[in-house]
Chain A
Amino acid sequence: MLHTFIALVDDKPGVLTRVASLFRRLNLNIVSLTVGESERSDASRMTIVCDAPEHAAHRIKASLYKLETTIHVDEVNRSEAVVRELCLIKVAAGPNQPHGVHSRSQIFELANVFRARVVDLAPESIMLEMTGSASKIEGLLQVLRESSYEVLEVSRTGRMAMRRGHHSGRVFKALGVNTAEPLAPHDFPEVDHDVDPDALPTGEALPNEFDEA
């Protein structure tokens, strides 16, 4: 399943490598990773989406915190957070295209429906800019392709996430609240004692060296 982590990290050289390296060590594929400045001048905020077994989240979060450069980590699911992605799409739109001279106006209409903006016009192409959830972006791309437009280039930022109505570490600090976030009970799922706890399907556990031996 996909996990989304929002991490506040030191804004220093090499921090991105440390975070990326951690996922590599756990043999987890990063689906997307965005990083940029945050409300703190000395810290960057990252949104990391990775594909990992359901129970892996605790260990990933704990491992992120083990990096000396990590200030705060939050794991969010889709309902708890606003998740956005920015996408640039270059579409072929010249007189030689299947839709001919009408292609541009049709692309404008499509863009309107998806609330995308035209940011560049060239004789043979149009560039669209769109912000939204990943599924909305995929929707626009699909419609363009299914309408026989040639998508020349796509550049996506990857997901950025922010917890809804949840205060960041700085607000906590201003409020004098300890940001050390205690584990909620759901971080330790109740184990059904009649079932062998280790008899979980192999996909549920992070791979370890012993499995290979």
Chain B
Amino acid sequence: MTTKNAHPTLTGAEILWATLAGENVTTVFGYPGGAILPIYDALRNFPTVHHVLVRHEQGASHMADGYARASGKVGVCMATSGPGATNLVTGLATAMLDSIPVIAITGQVSSKVLGSDAFQEVDITGITQPITKHNFLVTRAEDIAPTVRLAFQIATSGRPGPVLVDITKDAQQAAALFDFEAAKPAAYRPHPMLHVENPAIQQALELVKQAKKPVILAGHGIVESGAEAEVLAFAEARQIPIASTLLGLGAIPAGHPLSLGMMGMHGESWVNNAIQEADLLLAFGMRFDDRVTGNLASYAPRAKKIHIEIDPSEINKNVRADVALIGDLKQVLQLMLPQLEKQSDAAWLKEISASKGTAAVRDIINLPDNGHLYAAHVIHDIWQEAKAAGRLEQTVIVTDVGQHQMWEAQYFKHESPRSLVTSGGLGTMGFALPAAIGAKFACPEKDVWVIAGDGGFQMTAAELSTIVQEKLAINVAVINNGFLGMVRQWQETFYDKNYSASPILSPDFVMLAAAHGIAGANVSERKDVIPTVTKSRTSGKAFLTNFQVIKEDGVYPMIAPGAALHEMVRRPSKDPLLETAEDE
């Protein structure tokens, strides 16, 4: 069916699909139900759109999110009214906190019974109002196309975010004229407080010129803006080291000589020390989250701050900016770059480099095989294997939330943008498996790895069935330590080792995979890691590996809540976990 040129009279349901197809949507993740049945009925007329049946609507919203993060395009999910819609909520909040463009379409009861507590009626626009960038209730067929098109504009413009469109059943059933072009929204109006003026740019350039110890703080905004090349050019011109936020990992190649690694609560010591020592911080598309600043009162006390950010409400929120350039990062840097004087003094880089030597965090990698398997080994070896096979640029890692997520951030060296998909702001356990399904649809040619803990994996493990139904070759690595590891580590550190509700019993994950028709393997020794990773990656099908790792390992360094960024807790030097077999 041609959708763009004809102006046929269609049902609201058909208009929805025609509009989605017109917006170049090829994949929709969803789950049918009563109030959205007209839309599902009309699906057969739109063969260019592939619908993925999920096992729980939370999975649908995470898949749309993973799809968007891996591709840079809009992810679309769909659910029926009532419980279907409320199940999307966690995924929408996840996308909201990380500024991910997601469109959620929900069915709603007929407009005649709105507000009457009809069967499966819930006020989903009310519920999702604080966790979406915007939402709409549509009650007329003729409003569907303009609303959905506006939703796409809102989701992708400025600081991106999720948008929900709630469509009543009578609007889906009614007929209206469909004209895709006429439904185009008015020109996008940027936030009226964007502000990039020449005097501020000159002021920023002057601060850069004067700085002896500058550090670039590389955030997610670099990837959203597509400013990777500009940031690198900026850093290289002045030899400025780059510290990354969790969502900024990959924006700058980890192997680049100016790349320091991740900052913040579990950042490497030299990164946080460099920030604390710095005399200038250049915050590029990041928002000074509490997980990266530590105690604000003692954060980077000697540093002037230049904040380049597209969302004016982030300016001076947590950290006072000396110069604020409010606008699209790529555009702002393009204004600054031609005026930037080159500088090649490497004294500051040498100082940082010299402080790397003592970093305890690297010990685990260097540890000879002592019979124990550490999560760090697994992650390091997945990275090594991909690198050795020349697949690093073709690998997307999707993590869950917790210890394994931080180890991934520390030990997997991301060389390209969108190679790490992880829930940063909301920290949503259960994110990895469904988000990886979305990522695989976005990048079918890439090797997609799920790295999840035994806790988070069980939250959304039902989506294994979706993987099989869709015949997806996804690699699943469960880092199994028998605990909710990050909770256990906090209980060990702050709650006197009172392991309240953190030990978790798991099924035999390999048998669970087998029940789904997915091949798998158990690995508990270091020597088996790389061969199994290779087997998984090259099997051409989904493969689950249960990595049985040492139980009570911790993520180090660690900054306690309320502590300053440089007051990190190192791995204990006599950590019994690090003893070799001979010591025991």
Residues on A close to B: CB < 8 A?
Answer: 13-14, 17-18, 21, 25, 55, 58-59, 61-63, 65-68, 72-73, 179-183, 188, 191, 193, 196-200, 206, 208-210, 213
Contacts and interface: CB of A to CB of B under 8 A. Distances in A.
B313 A66 contact: yes
Interface in B104-157: 125-126, 129-130, 133-134, 137, 154
Nearest to A64: B313
Interface in B298-338: 299, 301, 304, 311-313, 315-322, 324, 326
A169 to B, nearest CB: 10
Interface stretch (B188-196, B400-408, B568-576): B188-196
Given A18-B129, A182-B195, A208-B290, A65 B317 contact: no
A21 B134 CA distance: 13
Contacts, number: 85
Contact of B290 (A58, A66, A180, A210): A210
Interface of B: 125-126, 129-130, 133-134, 137, 154, 190-195, 197, 290, 293, 295-297, 299, 301, 304, 311-313, 315-322, 324, 326, 561-562
Contact of B296 (A14, A73, A210): A210
Nearest to A178: B192
A63 B192 CA distance: 11
14 contacts: A18-B129, A58-B316, A59-B316, A65-B312, A66-B311, A67-B134, A73-B192, A182-B197, A191-B322, A196-B297, A197-B320, A197-B322, A198-B320, A210-B296
Contacts of A18: 129
Q: Is the interface of B mostly helix, strand, loop or mixed?
A: loop
A209 B427 CA distance: 15
Nearest to A72: B192
A62 B190 CA distance: 12
A25 B190 CA distance: 23
A17 B129 contact: yes
Contacts of A14: 125-126, 129, 137
Given A65-B193, A180-B192, A213 B129 contact: no
A63 B313 contact: yes
Contact of A213 (B190, B195, B197, B562): B562
B130 A25 contact: yes
Contacts of A179: 192
B290 A68 contact: no
A188 B316 CA distance: 9
Contacts of A213: 290, 561-562
A208 B297 contact: no
Contact of B315 (A62, A68, A73, A181): A62
Nearest to A199: B297
Given A17-B126, A59-B313, A62-B191, A193 B324 contact: no
